[in-house]
Structure 1
Amino acid sequence: MTAAKIRLGKIMNGKIMKGIIASLAGMTLIACAGCGGGGGSGVDSKTSAQATQVSNSPCFISDPTASPACIVDGKVLARSIVQYGDDSRLKAVLAKAQSGQPIVIGAIGGSITQGAWATTAQNTYVGRVFGWWQASFPQSQVTLINAGIGKTNSKYGNQRVQRDLLQYNPDFVIIEFANNDAPTPDFQESYRQLAQTIMNAPSHPAVIMLFTMARDGSNSEDNQIPIGKELNLPMVALREAVYPEEQSGQLNPIDITADEIHPNDLGHQIIAQIVAYRILSAQHSTN
């Protein structure tokens, strides 16, 4: 199997695009108020301060079965930031898109990146994130390279990254292997190699490390976070974002998952929201 190359304008009709825009509307204000961006060092004082600043923020995602119904607000988005990392490459691709130049957006990972179990391609987190790129920069032609393949890990990712992703010269890449990599030294090394290979590609893409999780909250992010710190990469995590709501009983994890491992449409929407939030933090930072 190989990656899918998609022109977003061809797969998203007006109704879908309006839905994506609506789902991410208002995030500019949140990011501007709370996300300083640029080279922070993780979930610490900066994230805590951000959570305080956005405590009265509007609701972005609701679940009618939750109590209270709002499951993603500014506090949840603030918690999703594991590390701000270096903003310079994100700023470069944002400037490129703003100027009207074509950009290539990529993602590499397992079945969640591939899109399991979303009801449509547009409802996957990848489809939503890249819908955000096109909606935000209509003057730029956006090409999507989805290199997600189910039941694969970063070891196989290293074998196929050139064929499935880097040959297309991506400007922005999401790496997602938190569910499929084991929390062992050999997988930590394979993840490091993959991240470095992507960063060293001729197109010098911006990279965001994304940590998804199983229904019980398990993943291998603790094995991967040291790589992000070493390379000073932006990192976002689903567990840090919503697990407190799950533990408090506000949110039933069954409501955002299709099975023990994979998100449903609502879960994909939450993942997309936290990724877009980190992008916006770079767009509005002054660092």
Structure 2
Amino acid sequence: MSTSTNQTTRKLADGNEIPLLGLGVWQVPDGPDCVKAVRWALELGYRHIDTAQAYRNEGSVGKALKESGVDRDDVFITTKFLPRAKDPVAELEQSLRRLGLDHVDLYIVHWPEGGPTWMWPGMERARELGYARSIGVSNFSETELASVAGIADVMPVVDQVNFNPTAFRRVLLDACQRRDVVLEAYSPLGTGSLLSDATVGAIAARVGRTPAQVLLRWCVQRGVPVLSKSTHRDRIEANGRIFDFALTDEDFSQLDALDRTGGTGNGLEQPWW
């Protein structure tokens, strides 16, 4: 594992670039809290914001982006297709209205409800229309990615999954690399459970960083884009300070050993739909 990389973006298979650190707004209510979190992140240098139709807060993300004064072209915006709907194009048109944008940088199938392939032609159409610069998936397994590959004219460039040391999906990560799909991490802190882990704490103490910074660095140092989530300015700021230190090979070995999935090729442990 390289310990010297300070890259802050990663090139996708379609030539676009995704910032390695993003602010996620899952479970942040639409309204002032979401607007403030996104504005703070943009003020603090974040250039990647991740929302979804299911989160019901796209309007707040759009409001914050507009109020921030940051150039639209400098910010990578992701939203996700809610597969309980029928048409990815029609749903993205609604998302763009809520966001106040003419396109998103990445449009993702949120989960493979109803099977992994039925929505993909609509996702490709959204890209053809210029509504999305890149298209991808989320919570897709190695097998489900292979199914999409079997019918796709344009492959997903991202698979966004639950990924952290206790959910170190080695087989899925390898499968993504073979298909030139970037695995992207959500819940990098184990929804908070890993912040009190003894191994994480010991490494954090050694490198003089917070446990959250160590966990985020575990992702970005291996080239995995990561979504951190907070509505507290000080934590958003701290979570952004992950590009000026490195973990050692021994640190990676200790963190990797926390995996509880058996290095699975699945995108998640069980479906919620």
Is TM-score (shorter-chain normalized) higher than 0.5? no
Normalising to structure 2: TM-score of the pair?
0.33
Structure number with the higher helix fraction is 1
